[in-house]
A and B are shown apart, each in its own frame.
Chain A
Amino acid sequence: MKKILIAVVISALPAFAFAQQNNIGSCGWGAKLFDGQSGVVPQVLAVTTNGTSGNQTFGITTGTSGCTQDGVVKSTWKTAMFIDGNKDRLARDMSIGNGETLDSLAHLIGVREEDRATFGRTMQANVSVIFPSGSTTDDSVVALKQVLRSDRELAQYAASI
């Protein structure tokens, strides 16, 4: 019986502190900084303050940690993280009007097949608006939302950002 008890207690121990320290939960302190605020701007700021484009690894089964839950990105963060993690490639694909990174963004915000061509053209025409500066993506999510909203066909997708 004692053996069983020991087993159960040990199995339920939280991961060693060590593991948590080293598996950066991505948006860690950034998320805390903007804790309780919703909306795109705090999200993006939170992501950028922690620089998701680096070598983050997300611990599996470490519970909630910044913008990840057990190693996967929470759905509310998906778009902001994708844009921040792919900013150079995404800006490049937008300037061309197509490409893998742009396709993935379109998929992420649910752009239907029949609207993809319009989406590509609109992104190409607005690359300088969505990426107003070369160095940060702080305003890119907001700008992307604006660009979508002001297009008649694409306005329906603005809400999913």
Chain B
Amino acid sequence: MPLGVFFGRMSFRARPWWAFLCFLCLLAPFGASASTYLDELIGRSRELRLSERRDWNRLMHYASNLITPGVHGLADARRFYLAPDGKADPQSELEATLAAFFSDIQETDKEQNPQCAFIARYAWLDRQLKFDPARLPRQPCRRFSEWRATLNPQGVTLIFPSAHVNNPSSMYGHTLLRIDAKDQDEKTRLLAYAINYAANTDETNGIAFAINGLFGGYPGMFSMMPYYLKVREYNDMENRDIWEYELDLSPEEIDRLLMHVWELGPIYFDYYFFDENCSYYLLELLEAARPDLDLTGDFRWWAIPSDTVREVVKQKGLVRKTVYRPSNATVIHHRLELMNGEEQAFVSSLSRGRASAQDPGFAALSPPVQARVLEVSHDYLSYLRATGRSPVEQPEELARKLLVERSRIGASASDPPVPVPEVRPDQGHGTSRIGLGGGRRDGANFVELRVRPTYHDLMDPDAGYVRGAQIEFFDFAVRDYSGGMGARVEDITPLSIVSISPRNEFFQPLSWKIDVGWARRRLSSGDEPLVFGVHGGPGLAWTVPDTLRSKTLVYAFLESTLQADTRLENNYALGIGPSIGALIDFTDRWRAEPYAREQSFFAGDTDTAWSVGLRQRYTLDRDWALRLDLSRERQEKQSWNTVLLSLHHYF
């Protein structure tokens, strides 16, 4: 019998003595009066059809089944659903929940009464059914009260750490919530608590992590930590700017959210990278707080954290204000810009222990300038340490020395704060793109349809994005050629990442690129099969002139290509060669990229291929852009020109 099996497996076998003890102590509360009142409550819940209400379905994390009628619970811990069939039957679950509230289990450090363990459900059902405390005694829930008192909640803020520089995949981002306390203000937010939802794993193998993550192989759980640990992690260790979105929630809504967090504390969900991820469950928390919000509707299949932030911002009146918290690297960049060459040179040598504050040259500087130079030197040393490039053996002693020197200067540097970027990450172009264009290639006219499901490329308008960063999934183009050739797939690129990060005296990132996919390749016969290839390599980049707001970014890469196809000689081709180019912003709207690339295929199907071209983009408005691409290519000793004009829409 299914019940017996369930019971046996879940409790007796796992903790036989414990479960038995509980079994005995539970016999008491189910006297005649309790079950009569329970029957009454169940009857009323059926009359009111409570289990069909949206609130109940949200609290229980039910989602509609795909094909069959009915629902399934997303929470994967069996202890979240109290009825054996509670994962699929909201009414049965509701009745089991009501029954559980009659338990007289006393709260201990490791165990809670169901009224406290499921305090959000209790509060909601109490509101609907108006429990009679004489017949259903109310439990004190001391642990929850103490927890809530420590949090002392006044507000909730959505936290979005933006991308790592030089790691385009981090543009997808992560989100967490912060519970702001009544006695805090903007200056003391570090003391707030953060609520994080993450996959719980010690996996260090990136590939295993990715695969398990895709298929829900890890349990996802909510956890808390002081917000300062998160700020230190993102701002100082990973050098990611943080955006904070203060939400306009009422005290009742905040309480609902906290009660629900409490309820989900010990519960895990299968963690899926793409849909049931950190951001999805934070949206669910917000929905639990304010049941008329519909935030998760659009994210049943695909929840990109930055898109979920947009969804929250889109809700009228939900975001009260935004705060920008620049990373250590951003602050250093900004303050270096305020310095002259001499001051920068001091930063460079002081932070590497090659100069001292006692040097006559330094002593000659004015106190505010000395303060600025010492502060930036310290911060830059922290940056070098955080990125694993410590310039001296004992960087912590050098850091301390710089701070002690700084503390001897009474003056303040009075540098202006880092300006808040004009465009926030949620205000950039939409992450999906569709483009329609027409052109001429090697004497044949064509029309092209290009679809890019996500996310951003080098020529897209980069307000709200990281300049020089590209990450795209499943970019795909079809063309219909005139002159009898007809329609064909031009290219399919499941993954493409480019990171062009400028270097200077202080920051020396390595640029890199990789793409995997199918593209047309000319054979000596003149045929152009769709050939699979992997292509990428390291590079260097600089801004000209070397300033933050420079309009020109030049780059050089050493690229390799491996192509595999039965129509190639020996079934493959392996090549290597340089590429150079520049991203030039003539105006905020008009960007051009001249480029030249050569690949010498030295193994397999040998050939020297090259291409030169000029890509241009003109932004019409946030979600529309025009592009003009001109190129000349050579493969298998044949050369041709291409021109393409296309209109792109972001959504």
Contacts and interface: CB of A to CB of B under 8 A. Distances in A.
B232 A100 contact: no
B394 A60 contact: no
Contacts of A86: 190, 228, 232
Interface string B231-270: 0110010000000000000000000000001101110100
A151 B506 CA distance: 41
A161 interface: no
Contact of B82 (A10, A15, A96): A10
Interface in A124-144: 124-125, 127-128, 131, 133-135
Contacts of B79: 10-11, 13
Given A12-B105, A55-B229, A103-B187, A92 B403 contact: yes
User: Counting chain A CB atoms within 10 Å of each CB, which of B109, B229, B396 scores highest?
Assistant: B229
B151 A72 contact: yes
Given A56-B229, A71-B147, A101-B190, A95 B30 contact: no
Interface stretch (B110-118, B468-476, B511-519): B110-118
A11 B114 contact: yes
A104 B114 contact: no
Nearest to A65: B109
Interface string A18-43: 11001100000000000000000000
Interface in A72-116: 72-73, 75, 81-82, 85-86, 88-89, 91-92, 94-97, 100-101, 103-104, 107-108
Nearest to B396: A134
Interface in B1-27: 3, 6-7, 10-11, 14-15, 19, 22-23, 26
Given A64-B109, A71-B265, A11 B82 contact: yes
B96 A4 contact: yes
**Interface residues of B toward A: which range?**
35 or more
Interface string B275-295: 000000000000000000000
Given A4-B96, A82-B228, A128-B404, A88 B236 contact: yes
Contacts of B371: 96
B378 A134 contact: no
Contacts of B226: 73, 81-82, 85
A38 B404 CA distance: 32
B200 interface: yes
Contacts of B400: 91, 128, 131, 133-134
Contacts of A66: none
Nearest to A74: B150
Contact of B223 (A6, A71, A125, A134): A71
A96 B406 contact: yes
B403 A91 contact: yes
Given A69-B147, A100-B187, A11 B117 contact: yes
Given A12-B103, A107-B188, A135-B396, A6 B7 contact: yes
B609 interface: no
Interface string A41-73: 000000000001101111111111000011111
A60 B23 contact: no
A124 B410 CA distance: 9
B336 to A, nearest CB: 17
A91 to B, nearest CB: 5
A107 B185 CA distance: 10
Interface string B89-102: 00000001101100
Contacts of A69: 143, 146-147
A58 B223 CA distance: 5
A152 interface: no
A143 B112 CA distance: 41
Contacts of A94: 403, 407
A7 interface: yes
Given A11-B82, A61-B117, A63-B109, A5 B26 contact: yes
B225 interface: yes
B315 to A, nearest CB: 26
Contact of A2 (B3, B14, B112, B189): B3
B327 to A, nearest CB: 13
A61 B266 contact: yes
Nearest to A68: B224
Given A58-B223, A135-B396, A3 B187 contact: no
Contact of B26 (A8, A13, A104): A8
Contacts of B103: 8, 11-12
A116 to B, nearest CB: 10
B190 A59 contact: no
A9 interface: yes
Contacts of A58: 223-225
Given A23-B223, A72-B147, A103-B187, A127 B109 contact: no
A134 B397 contact: yes
Contact of A19 (B11, B84, B266): B266
Contacts of A131: 400, 403
A1 interface: yes
Nearest to B404: A128
A133 B79 CA distance: 49
Contacts of B274: none
Interface in B62-84: 77-79, 82-84
Interface stretch (B156-164, B191-199, B566-574, B613-621): B191-199
A58 B228 CA distance: 14
A28 B79 CA distance: 26
A115 B79 CA distance: 51
B261 to A, nearest CB: 6
Nearest to A6: B7
B399 interface: yes
A59 B190 CA distance: 20
A60 B223 contact: yes
A104 B187 contact: yes
Contacts of A95: 378, 403-404, 406-407
B111 A12 contact: yes
Contacts of A72: 147, 150-151, 193, 224
Contacts of A96: 371, 375, 406-407, 412
User: Counting chain A CB atoms within 10 Å of each CB, which of B79, B117, B196 scores highest?
Assistant: B79
A9 to B, nearest CB: 5
Given A12-B117, A19-B268, A127 B407 contact: yes
Contacts of B229: 52-53, 55-56, 85
A9 B190 contact: no
Nearest to A73: B226
B112 A4 contact: no
Interface of A: 1-16, 18-19, 22-23, 52-53, 55-64, 69-73, 75, 81-82, 85-86, 88-89, 91-92, 94-97, 100-101, 103-104, 107-108, 124-125, 127-128, 131, 133-135
A-B interface, 8 closest residue pairs, ranked by CB to CB distance from nearest = A134-B396, A60-B265, A61-B265, A57-B223, A4-B99, A15-B266, A7-B82, A134-B400
30 contacts: A1-B30, A3-B3, A3-B99, A4-B100, A6-B84, A8-B99, A8-B100, A9-B22, A10-B79, A11-B103, A11-B118, A15-B265, A19-B268, A22-B221, A58-B225, A61-B265, A63-B109, A64-B109, A71-B147, A71-B193, A72-B147, A82-B228, A85-B228, A86-B228, A92-B379, A92-B403, A96-B406, A100-B190, A133-B397, A135-B396
